[in-house]
Structure 1
Amino acid sequence: MRIGELAERAGASVRSLRYYEEQGLLTSQRSPSGQRHYDEYAVERVLLLKRLYAAGLTSSVITEVLPCTYAPSIETNDHAFERMTAERDRLAAHIAELTETLGSLDRVIAMNRRWRAEQDAGSNRRPDTATGA
């Protein structure tokens, strides 16, 4: 498939695909006229790359962990495996921080809702004609 079709099928921009190639994360075959042609596996590869980038991994880290995704082997991928587990631990810690932050925001929102409800209830009260309050 050509680059435009891959971009459409994987939900990526043509620019991103070119960048992935520049970084060595994606490969293509070139036609005699220089057009890029991709195998069917390229769609899954691009989807994986998008997920890894969305998780906060850099292209250099992705380059290190990719060998574990297509040719698991103890002899050749020890470093990649170690890096992958380190990135997983980093992501898990980040998710824990985000979860804690979300909980804090939920508490602040709840407090503000209670305050707003009290303010609304107070503004809806009619003054007591006997006391002037």
Structure 2
Amino acid sequence: MRIGELSRRTGVNAHQLRYYEAQGLLEADRRANGYRDYDESAVLRVTQIRHLLGAGLSSEDIAYVLPCAVGEAPELPGCSELLTAMRSRRQRLEDQMRRLAQSRDALTVYIDAAERSGSGSYPPFDESVPA
């Protein structure tokens, strides 16, 4: 099937499909006229990629995971590379969430002080909060 058909069947625009191909996540044969030609399995592969992107995995992580993927959701049985990639991604997310919570708390202090005083006097800047 051509890229337009794959796009229609998966709901993923052609630009994204070309990106997946450039990242090595999706394969297409080339016709004599240069058009991409995807086989039927590409529909499942794109669905798997979308689910894994939704879980916060990078395209690099997904490249490790796809050989283990089974089904649309996908299930990922017996793939040690996957566990390592997902644990690493989860740790990065937890670190980001911690930094965001610190920033949120610092902003709350500033907002509360501004609302209480209205005078422009603010608490001292907490240098432990990342910029």
TM-score by length of 2: 0.61
Please report how far the alpha carbon of residue 12 of structure 1 lies from its aligned counterpart in structure 2 after TM superposition. 4.1
The residue number in structure 2 matching 1:88 is 86
1:12-51 CA distances to partner (integer Å, 9 max, x unpaired)? 4434423433444213355564433334543442243345
- Percent sequence identity is 30
The residue number in structure 2 matching 1:57 is 58
- Give the number of equivalent residue pairs: 114
Q: Following superposition of structure 1 onto structure 2, how do residues 1-133 of structure 1 map, counting pairs within 5 Å?
A: 1-10=1-10, 12-31=12-31, 33-50=33-50, 52=52, 55-59=56-60, 61-70=61-70, 81-120=79-118
Q: 1:24 to 1:105 in 2, by over 3 A?
A: closer
2:34 and 2:70 map into 1 onto residues whose CA distance is: 27
Structure number with bigger Rg:
1
1:118 and 1:22 map into 2 onto residues whose CA distance is: 54
Structure 1 unaligned runs (5+)?
A: 72-76, 124-133
1:23 and 1:98 map into 2 onto residues whose CA distance is: 25
TM-score by length of 1: 0.61
Q: Which has the higher helix share?
A: 1
Structure 2 unaligned runs (5+)?
A: 72-76, 121-131
